[in-house]
Each structure stands twice: as C-alpha cells, then as structure tokens.
Amino acid sequence: MRNPCVAHRGFSGIAPENTMAAVQLAMEQKDVRWIEVDVQCSKDGVPLLIHDFTLNRTTNGRGPVKDKTLAELQALDAGSWKAKAYRGERLPSLDEFLDTIAGRLRANLEIKTEGNRYPGLEEKVISAVKRRHMEHEVVLTSFEPRILAKIKEIGRGIRTGLIIDRQPKDLLLRLKLLHCSFLSIHYRALTAELAEKAFKHGIDVMAWTMDDVRSLRKTAALHPDILLCTNRPDVWREAIGSGKTNHVIVKPQSPGGEDDDEQIDR
C-alpha cells in the first residue's frame, strides 16, 4: 500500500491555501484522497476556512478574523498574495467546502481556536458535518485537548485527532484518554515505533508537512499506512506514486508570500 496523500490546506503549494482554488486543484489530482483545512468563525458565527487568526498574511484585509462578518470576510481578496492569477479568490465557508468534497475526499478539519476565541465553534462544525451525513468522511483535529474532549461529548460518531509537534512519553495514553483515533504529528517527531504502536491501537497517523522527495520517502519508510501531508501533491507523486506528474504549472508567488512548511501550525 502506498502512503496516502493529504493535500495540506488544499494544493497550497500552487494555489492560495484554504481557498476553493486550492481545494479544486487538489481534487483534480487522482492520488489525493485526503485534504486538510483550518476552520475558524466569523463575527456573525459562520464557520469558514482560514489558518491565521489575523487576515494580514493571506488576504488584503487586516486585523482578527473574528472581528468581521462572513460578508465582510468574503469581500476580501484571498488570492493575490499567492499569485496575480488568483486575484479575487474568496475565503470559503465551511458549508461551501463540505458541499464540494462530499463523497469525493476525506477531510481533516482542524479546529483553529484558543481560549474562548470562538464560543460554539465545535457545535457549528459538528452540525455542518451531520447535516450532510459526513460523519465517516471527516476527522476533527486540534492542538487543544479540551476541544477534543468537548467534541467527543457533543459529537457522537465523529472521529477526533490530537495535533502535536513532539513525542511525549505518554502520547499514546493521552490519545486513549481523549478517545482519539487519529494522530496528526510533525514528521520530525514521528518514529517507526510510535507509528507501529498507534496503528496497532487503531489510531491513524498523519505526518505533516513535507514538500520534498527526501522527507516524504523517509517518513513513508517508517510505516506503509502513514498519511503524508504535503502542500505539493505533485511532489508526493514523484516520491511515493508513479513518478509521473500531471504537468502542474507552478504560478509565481509574490515576494514574501511563501508559507514556511517547517513552521508549527499553531
């Protein structure tokens, strides 16, 4: 079995992350079976896709995401920072995203929050998933154990996963106590021993985020079932798949628009 490819924030190595352009491009790659996106909430309580807590990096807006309504957020340009060809790309709502991928891709929905930034976000995400009967197509992940505990309390039938950038000695115990069946871990913190033990305990493992052939192959060698999260599904294909590409053309980025794949996604 080839290690599954997870498109990180969509095909974000080319298209602007967490936009429908990146989602659609990921869906065009026949090897992509999973997609990972980040979910936050507008001022008027609508879940939408964006990674940072502020708008500064990936839109032409400024300030916290939580201070603007969905209409205000969707009026922003979320594509020009990546390339001129994506000018006018919008921030998509979670509903729009789920409607697009339903029955086509499995999704890792990272709940992006901290403290009491987005009261009720978990309920809104769970409701959106259940309305579409997508309980078996998604996993909800977070760095924060309290978020995962709350999801388990109110979201029966929905899988949860802990995101972590290190390997504490009690990691498997933590996952068991949280009733998690998914582990999202920085690829440099993952070992063959941890992967083997996790899979034996019924816990799927996703390693993030690798965009070069060497790192993808090295991580894949740890265990054949590890999900490989990448901004570049075309590089995954070179490293793990047939080696044949779809001749995806990388559009030039604006200066300062690159996303560091080594940064910790907090």
The beta strand positions in 120-248, using DSSP E, are 138-142, 159-164, 182-186, 204-208, 227-230
Interval 10-48: pLDDT, tens: 999 999 999 999 999 999 999 999 999 999 999 999 999
Q: Which domains does the chain have, with CATH numbers?
A: 5-239 (3.20.20.190)
Model pTM score: 0.91
Any idea which residues carry the catalytic annotation?
Answer: 8, 51
Interval 45-84: pLDDT, tens: 999 999 999 999 999 999 999 999 999 999 999 999 999 9
Measure the CA dihedral 159/163/169/170, to 10°: -40
State how far the alpha carbon of 58 is from the alpha carbons of 37, 232, 258, in Å.
Answer: 14, 18, 10
Name the token pair of 238. Answer: 């070179």
